[in-house]
Amino acid sequence: MTDHDDLVRHVRARAEEQSPQLPSCASPHSLTEAEELLGFALPPLLARLYCEVANGGFGPDYQLLPLSGEGQTAVSAYRSERAQSQAGPVPHWPRGVLPILDWGCAMYAAVDCLQPHAPVLLFEPNAVEENWPDAWFKDAPSLAD
């Protein structure tokens, strides 16, 4: 499935039902700036969700992080995790894996932006002792799923 029009419309309608005061959508300019800071492009569906539904503030439970802006954002969380990962003896955060939802207690839902289908991954580091591959789980084979 490459055309996500129906899915984006459905997500937008559901987001408006659950939260009538959605944040503004990300602008094309803010998307470009975010991708420059990240060093990679967002998968088309994720970019559309940020630009056509809202700049975060919708979705399951804790809701999507804003892509950019004030406070914790997907960009700031990615840059922080990557910096901490590179500073440690064993890297824990792969390049191109964008955290999009903070579950708390250092746990994230993330999208692998470098894979064609943009799989959704869960990061749960609390039960591992630097055996970082054990902290990652595949939640869905693609963001569309």
CA distances from 98 to 4, 14, 55, 78, 124 (A): 20, 23, 15, 6, 15
Residue 26 forms part of a structural domain: yes
Residue 23 forms part of a structural domain: yes
Structure token pair of residue 135: 């902290």
CATH of the domain at 48: 3.40.1580.10
Cα–Cα distance, 42 to 20 (Å, whole number): 26
Question: What percent of the chain has pLDDT above 90?
Answer: 73
* Residue 16 C-beta-side C-alpha neighbours within 13 Å: 10
| Contact (CB, 8 A) for 26 and 68 | yes
Residue 52 forms part of a structural domain: yes
Q: Give pLDDT tens digits for 63-75.
A: 899 999 999 999 9
Q: Which among 23, 9, 25, 7 is positioned nearest to 142, based on CA atoms?
A: 7
Handedness of CA 113, 86, 57, 125 (dihedral sign): positive
Give the H/E segment covering residue 7. helix 5-18
Provide the domain count of the chain.
Answer: 1
Domain residues for 80? 5-140
Residue 72 forms part of a structural domain: yes
What is the mean predicted confidence (pLDDT) over 9-17? 92
Residue 145 forms part of a structural domain: no
Question: What percent of the chain has pLDDT above 70?
Answer: 99
**To which residue do tokens 């602008």 refer?**
27
- pTM of the full structure: 0.92
Residue 129 — very low, low, confident or very high, per pLDDT cuts 50/70/90?
A: confident
Residue 63 forms part of a structural domain: yes
What is the mean predicted confidence (pLDDT) over 49-76? 92
